């Protein structure tokens, strides 16, 4: 029996996942995937991806977990596989819906400090780009130069282009209909880091062993107005 595993919404760290759950925002963390793989117990799995990406380190951890899985892994891109989600899609034999999109780009990050810090950050990001390109290279056979150029350009691909460039193995329903190119608005880019920090400082993690249900309900009631304010900041940022 084949088990289905979803990679939907933002790709986030396991430590931050509870914040997304609390706000009712769809997200996927390495802990989610590791739990699902443990439950699959070596059975074949199908991974459904529809994600604009997120935390590249969380994406790398999910990619590695899927590559290490002992059963067969089929990747189904049912919407979007962009950024960190595109890395995850390299973990097995893959298919993409005719209406799907695929995107690769450079790793991004921020820093504060003098020019030495900025130069160092630039060097680290270039190293991170090369690390991510390794996953693409193993799948596609493209050279480092070709891949880094595509990443520099933030390359978007239709289903046909993703298959043509060997990032994906085949288009779903290819024997039934022609592929349709789609454009997606409002791609998820995650909760702003500043807002995550405010939530961490305002609300106790309900999954903490020292928390109880009544404490959490009191916190949640007390925090409603603050959360409305935080959500307003997310829209304005």
122 is catalytic: no
The active-site residue, picked from 29, 51, 60, 83, is 83
Tokens 């990747």 -> residue: 75
* Torsion region of 228: left, alpha or beta (phi above 0 gives left; psi -120 to 50 gives alpha): alpha
The catalytic position among 29, 51, 86, 105 is 105
Residue 220: CA atoms inside 13 Å, Cβ hemisphere, count? Answer: 12
| 60 catalytic per annotation | no
Residues catalogued as catalytic: 83, 105
């Amino acid at each position: 029996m084949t088990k289905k595993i979803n990679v939907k919404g933002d790709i986030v760290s396991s430590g931050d996942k509870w914040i997304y759950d609390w706000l009712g925002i769809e997200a996927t963390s390495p802990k989610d995937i590791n739990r699902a793989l443990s439950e699959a117990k070596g059975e074949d799995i199908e991974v459904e991806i529809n994600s604009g990406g997120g935390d590249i380190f969380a994406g790398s951890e999910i990619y590695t977990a899927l590559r290490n899985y002992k059963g067969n892994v089929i990747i189904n891109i049912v919407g979007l596989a962009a950024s960190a989600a595109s890395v995850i899609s390299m973990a097995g034999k893959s298919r993409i819906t005719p209406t799907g999109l695929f995107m690769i780009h450079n790793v991004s990050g921020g820093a504060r400090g003098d020019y030495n810090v900025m130069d160092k950050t630039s060097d680290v990001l270039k190293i991170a780009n090369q690390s991510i390109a390794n996953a693409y290279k193993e799948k596609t056979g493209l050279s480092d130069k070709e891949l880094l150029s595509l990443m520099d350009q933030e390359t978007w691909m239709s289903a046909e282009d993703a298959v043509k460039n060997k990032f994906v193995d085949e288009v779903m329903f290819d024997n039934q209909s022609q592929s349709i190119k789609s454009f997606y608005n409002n791609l998820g880019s995650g909760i702003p880091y500043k807002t995550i920090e405010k939530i961490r400082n305002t609300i106790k993690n309900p999954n903490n062993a020292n928390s109880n249900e009544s404490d959490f309900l009191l916190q949640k009631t007390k925090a409603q107005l603050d959360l409305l304010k935080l959500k307003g900041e997310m829209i304005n940022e």
